[in-house]
Amino acid sequence: MRRLLVAAMAAALISPVAATTAAAAQSPAVASAALATTAVPARTLPLKSLAEQRTAALAVAARYAAQAPNLSWQQKSRNADDLATRLRLPNIGVAERALAIGKTQLGTTYLYGGSTPRGFDCSGLTQFAFAKAGATLPRTAAQQRRATRVVTSPRVGDLVFIGGRTPYHVGIYVGNNRMLHSPRPGKAVQIATIWTTATYGRV
């Protein structure tokens, strides 16, 4: 009698598991449903549109420009390199990139013959900014004028030349009759009003 009771209890415990296993074997759909209840859905982040990428990149550029006067030349160099990559988007042109990169050097002391964040002269700054933006310019203001297309209505990012057909000074147009430039010994890279007659060149 005792053996019969033990056998009956064992059968009662095993039968639900066996029934589930058998049902799964007979119906693949049941097995799939069982797995689906434990699966963790993959989390995907939406890709940013080009417009959103542009807005984000230009926000970083504006932050770098605001910080620039208080940064070391090493940090300015790193920021310029970062923007050279970050701003390389199909909806940001070379001139706009060059201006943003040039602004990372605000506050850098004028250095005759300088073309690095340690110090810039006027054409060294423009050459540096456009090189980081992906365009090659020659070294002097006069050479840069000959290498660009003369325009009469400047756009943001165009080069500004002071001194007629053989200019002695160059900067980058920022709009509203102002330019980014490295002025002269004793001064630093700054944005200033264009104080005299200028000509303009488009890279």
DSSP 3-state of 191: strand
Q: Give the pLDDT confidence of 112-161 residue by residue, as tens digits.
A: 999 999 999 999 999 999 999 999 999 999 999 999 999 999 999 999 99
Task: Please choose, from the candidates 155, 131, 96, the residue with its C-alpha nearest in 3D space to the C-alpha of residue 147.
Answer: 131
Task: Please choose, from the candidates 127, 87, 138, 81, the residue with its C-alpha nearest in 3D space to the C-alpha of residue 104.
Answer: 81
pLDDT of residue 48: 87
DSSP 3-state of 197: coil
pTM of the model: 0.77
Compute the half-sphere exposure of residue 47: CA atoms within 13 Å on the CB side of its CA.
2
pLDDT band at 47 (very low <50, low <70, confident <90, very high): confident
Whether 33 shows a pLDDT value over 80: the answer reads no
Question: Which long-range contacts link 63-69 to residues 24+ away (Cβ below 8 Å)?
Answer: 64/103, 64/104, 65/100, 65/103, 65/104, 65/106, 68/103, 68/104, 68/105, 68/106, 68/107, 68/108, 69/106, 69/107, 69/188
Residues noted as catalytic: 122, 169, 181
Alpha-carbon distances, residue 66 vs 70, 100, 118, 189, 190 (angstroms): 9, 11, 19, 13, 12
Give CATH 3.90.1720.10 domain extents, the chain: 50-202
pLDDT of residue 45: 58
Tell me which DSSP letter residue 5 carries.
H
CB 79 within 8 A of CB 104: yes
Q: Give the pLDDT confidence of 76-89 residue by residue, as tens digits.
A: 999 999 999 999 99
CB 91 within 8 A of CB 51: yes
Positive or negative: CA dihedral 113, 71, 177, 155 = positive
- Window from 43-57, 80-94, 95-109 with minimum mean pLDDT: 43-57
What DSSP letter does each residue of 103-145 carry, written as one string?
HTTTTPBB-TT-EETTEE-HHHHHHHHHHHHT----SSHHHHH
Fold adopted by 50-202: endopeptidase fold (from Nostoc punctiforme) (3.90.1720)
